[in-house]
A and B are shown apart, each in its own frame.
Chain A
Amino acid sequence: MVIGLQHYLILSAILFCIGLYGVLAKRNAVIILMCVELMLNAVNITLVAFSRYVVPAMLTGQVFAIFVIVVAAAEVAVGLAIIFAIYRGLEDIDVSKIDLLKW
């Protein structure tokens, strides 16, 4: 079996959907944050794969993936800080209970 572009894309799609499911369905804020990371990394796989297969001479996709990783690290830092703040206030990180914007 020759591993080609479509395999990478399928893997990426599977990871993205798992991440999306987690974001939409999980209650625990930390797990949601992890699922967001999963979605970002799914995107990273597509970026690197397209770069490798479509324009092999250039490193655009790889560079972009590194940027995403950097931003994701920052996002995790901010996200966790928010979760801490919420936990201090509500003593819970169940997002279904964080519904202060409710009518």
Chain B
Amino acid sequence: MMPHQVAWLIFLLPLFSFVFIAFFIRPFVKPESRVAGYITIAAIGGSLALSIWALFAVMAAPHHEIPVPDITWVVIEGGVTIHLGIIMDSLTAVMLIVVLVVSLMVQIYSQGYMHGDPGYHRYYAWMSLFTASMIGLVIADNLLFMFVFWEMVGLCSYLLIGFWFHKPSAADAAKKAFIVTRLGDFGFLAGILLLYLNTGTFDIHELHELAIAGALAGTVLTWAALGIFAGAVGKSAQFPLHVWLPDAMEGPTPVSALIHAATMVAAGVFLVARMFPLFEHSATALTTVAIIGGITAIFAASMGLVMNDIKRVLAYSTISQLGYMMLGLGAGGVAIGIFHLFNHAFFKALLFLGSGSVNHATGTFDMRLMGGLRKYMPWTYATFVIASLSIAGIWPLSGFWSKDEIVISSFASQPVLFYLAMITVFMTAFYMFRAVFMTFGGEYRGGDPNAHGHDSHHGQPHESPSVMTIPLVILAVLSIFSGLWNVTGHFGAFMGHGQTHGFFEGLFHPFTQTLPWIALILAGLGILLAYAMYSKSWLSAERIGGMFKPLYTLFYRKYWLDELYENIIVRNALLKGIFAAFEQFDNRVVDGTVNGVANGAIASGRAMRHAQTGQLQLYGLFIGIGILAIIFAIYFFG
């Protein structure tokens, strides 16, 4: 067992770090000092140690849950009482590990990557707040509390994506992320309110029980679940609200790693998992989750095939993998979706940090300007390949285990989505190894011709400092081994489903099945095709692109969705339609009322000022008449 104060401390440590850096370090310590980074790393390291303790305590606890007493937050007389509380169950414990491990690695890495940036303190303050918000989100035990942190996560990602706010593209990307996710948040809030109006509670446990008992069912449950899912669609960048995520690459690369692996986008998947009993009792909602997930997976992967910016490839890969997670949740259950989130966090953080390391050396994110980095950056290369193998789903790396389960569960429940998922397996392997071969294979193509980045990029690229490579190595180790947690079925059992079995039995079990073989072969073919096209030039990438010209253009232009949203919906429908109508309403009705009142006052003044003759005797006469009138009134009516 662990005392419940410790559970609170997991959340409070990064929050203290934020407050301390924002209010004491940033104003009073010179920006070259690294103290802000040390404080953040210490706070997050402390939280991580406590959450490892929490994980083992939860494993040992009955029903895999530690009860934590609530704190009364708001009491409305005759109305509702809102408690501040913590859920410390298996889902929370796993999420805490994911968030804090990735965050810690990112903070350490940022010591190198952000070195010398004038916003160094600001960066660490926001990173601390970001981590604290995400922890608050995963421990929250009522929807209101959760929504607060949900919004704080959105705010922090806005601040961090727009970290280099002097670049217009970064400022725009930050706004886009904020506004697009806000569309989903609206659905989430509507879902919360719908649940509250029908049940009178915000408490997650109570809502679970109501859904399981059948007291919360039918249309209300479906709409509430869909509302909550809308929030998840926004945050987790699912189709059709995925457009903010590729643009979010404008932030510093470690921020991308954190957003894409553990915090922002994981929040949506986590939310669906947290409210899973509600989805489970509404077939419509659950199917919607699976379908959106499946569509997103293949849709994003197809765009990832043709991008030339390494971070954009990874961005579309993230969207695609999040689609897998949603598919896993919708088709399989909490354990399967969250297991993929758990594994994905490590290898995706590794990929992003690797791309940051590459950028550190070459000064560019454009893969066409890289090449041959294998020789100069052996550590980055090795770890990047491990992560790519893992995401491609190669046995026995972590990605294989979770992706395998998703594919199998979708085969059982959603056959159409199963085929999409299989095609996505092939695409994933292809685009990841396309990135690997373009970046690390062949000869160095010179980096950024007008380099202006971190250091001087002239001449040979060089390996990043060890403060950056050590997190890569740690994450690579995790990417290899994290999947083994569920080889024995232990992860699934911990999450509440399934039985455990022997390790070696589980390790080689996939080879006795057909589906894992198909998935492995498809992944292998993807890697082979990438090798043929980008390493050996057996097949010309240009010629193949030319053969499928319309398809290539479709992918490269991202299905024209950005244009659709921006030109048609925003510029025409919103700007010319609704906003113009609002403008008219504002100009005519609102301004008309305000101006009318003022004009009325002016006109009546103009009319009545003729009464002011300046003739004192006339005033006196009126006073006299007035007095007489009052006397008469009192005399006759009083």
Contacts and interface: CB of A to CB of B under 8 A. Distances in A.
A102 B618 CA distance: 12
A54 B136 CA distance: 88
B444 to A, nearest CB: 87
Interface in B499-546: none
B75 interface: no
A84 to B, nearest CB: 18
Interface residues of B, number: 11
Contacts of A25: 617
Contacts of B167: none
B327 to A, nearest CB: 80
Interface stretch (A2-10, A74-82, A92-100): A92-100
* Among A24, A25, A96: residue with most chain B CB under 10 A: A24
A49 interface: no
B74 interface: no
A100 B614 CA distance: 6
Contact of A98 (B612, B616, B620): B616
A102 B621 contact: no
A101 interface: yes
Nearest to A32: B617
Nearest to A96: B615
Contacts of A101: 612, 614
A36 to B, nearest CB: 11
Contacts of A48: none
B624 interface: yes
Contact of B614 (A20, A24, A32, A99): A99
A23 interface: yes
B621 A24 contact: yes
B620 A23 contact: yes
A95 B617 CA distance: 8
Contacts of A20: 624
A3 B615 CA distance: 41
Interface residues of A, number: 13
A53 interface: no
Contacts of B612: 101-103
Given A20-B624, A24-B621, A24-B624, A95 B614 contact: no
B452 interface: no
A102 B614 contact: yes
A103 B608 CA distance: 10
Contacts of B615: 95-96, 99
A32 to B, nearest CB: 8
A95 B620 CA distance: 13
B609 interface: yes
A98 B614 CA distance: 7
A27 B614 CA distance: 14
Contacts of B610: 103
A20 B624 CA distance: 9
Nearest to B611: A103
B197 to A, nearest CB: 60
B613 interface: yes
Contacts of A98: 614, 616
Contacts of B614: 98-103
A23 B609 CA distance: 24
A32 B615 CA distance: 14
Contacts of B624: 20, 24
A18 B612 CA distance: 26
Which of the listed residues A32, A101, A102, A103 has the most CB atoms from chain B within 10 Å of its own CB? A103
Interface string A61-83: 00000000000000000000000
Interface in A9-33: 20, 23-25, 32
B613 A24 contact: no
Contacts of A23: 617, 620
Given A20-B624, A24-B624, A102 B613 contact: yes
A24 B609 contact: no
Given A20-B624, A24-B624, A103 B609 contact: yes
A41 B435 CA distance: 112
A20 B625 CA distance: 12
B617 A99 contact: no
B347 to A, nearest CB: 83
A37 to B, nearest CB: 16
B406 to A, nearest CB: 84
Contacts of B621: 24
Interface string B405-443: 000000000000000000000000000000000000000
B617 to A, nearest CB: 5
A89 B45 CA distance: 89
Contact of B620 (A24, A99, A100, A103): A24
B613 A95 contact: no
A102 B611 CA distance: 9
A100 B616 CA distance: 10
B609 A95 contact: no
Contacts of B613: 99, 102
A103 B610 CA distance: 7
Given A24-B621, A103-B610, 17 more contacts: A20-B624, A23-B617, A24-B620, A95-B615, A95-B616, A96-B615, A96-B617, A98-B614, A98-B616, A99-B613, A99-B614, A100-B614, A101-B614, A102-B612, A102-B613, A102-B614, A103-B609
Interface of A: 20, 23-25, 32, 95-96, 98-103
| Ranked 9 nearest A-B pairs via Cβ | A99-B614, A102-B614, A103-B609, A101-B614, A103-B612, A24-B621, A24-B617, A24-B620, A99-B615
17 contacts: A23-B617, A24-B621, A24-B624, A32-B617, A95-B615, A95-B616, A95-B617, A96-B615, A96-B617, A99-B613, A99-B614, A99-B615, A101-B612, A102-B612, A103-B609, A103-B612, A103-B614
